[in-house]
Amino acid sequence: MRIVHVTKYFSGNGGIESYTRSISKAALAAGHDVHVICAAKIKKYSEHVENGVKVVRLPKISTIMNAPLTRPVGPVLERLRPDVIHLHMPNPWAEVNVFLYKLSHPKTRLIATYHSDVIAYNPLMRFLSTLRLAYLVPSMGIFCDKIISTSGNYVSGSAALRMLRKKTVIIPLGVDVKTFSPAKTKNKNFTFLFVGRLIPYKGLENLIKACGIVKGSGKKFILNIVGDGKLYQSLRKSASDRGVKDRVKFLRSVSDSRLPSIYRKCDVFILPSVYKSEAFGLAQLEAMSSGKPVISTNIKGSGVPFVNKNGYTGIVVKPRDEISLANAMMLLMDDKKLRLTMGLNARKRAVNFFNEKMISRKVLETYIR
Task: List, for residues 237-290, the tens digit of each pLDDT value.
Answer: 999 999 999 999 999 989 889 999 999 999 999 999 999 889 999 999 999 999
Predicted confidence at residue 135, as pLDDT, reads: 86
The pTM score is 0.90
Predicted confidence at residue 186, as pLDDT, reads: 83
Predicted confidence at residue 152, as pLDDT, reads: 94
- When the pLDDT of each residue in the chain is averaged and rounded to a whole number, the result is 94
Task: List, for residues 287-300, the tens digit of each pLDDT value.
Answer: 999 999 999 999 99
Does 209 score more than 90 pLDDT? yes
The pLDDT confidence band at residue 121, using thresholds 50, 70 and 90, is: low
- According to DSSP, the residues that pair with 53 across neighbouring strands are 50
Task: List, for residues 162-178, the tens digit of each pLDDT value.
Answer: 999 999 999 999 999 99
Does 122 score more than 80 pLDDT? no
Alpha-carbon gap, residue 161 to 268, rounded angstroms? 33
Predicted confidence at residue 235, as pLDDT, reads: 98
Residue 225's closest CA among 251, 201, 204?
251
Domains parsed from the chain with CATH numbers: 2-174+355-366 (3.40.50.2000), 191-353 (3.40.50.2000)
CA angle 237, 286, 2 (to 5 degrees): 110
Does 188 score more than 80 pLDDT? yes
Does 108 score more than 80 pLDDT? yes
How are strands ordered across the β-sheet holding 248-252? 248-252, 222-226, 191-195, 268-271, 294-297, 314-317
What is the pLDDT averaged over residues 142-169?
95
The pLDDT confidence band at residue 13, using thresholds 50, 70 and 90, is: low
Q: List the single range of 183-187, 201-205, 273-277, 351-355 with lowest mean pLDDT.
A: 183-187
Predicted confidence at residue 15, as pLDDT, reads: 83
What is the pLDDT averaged over residues 359-369?
94
The pLDDT confidence band at residue 72, using thresholds 50, 70 and 90, is: very high
Alpha-carbon gap, residue 284 to 46, rounded angstroms? 33
Q: How far, in whole angstroms, is CA 362 from its chain's centroid?
A: 19
The pLDDT confidence band at residue 14, using thresholds 50, 70 and 90, is: confident
What is the pLDDT averaged over residues 123-143?
85
Contact (Cβ atoms closer than 8 angstroms) between residue 50 and residue 59 = no
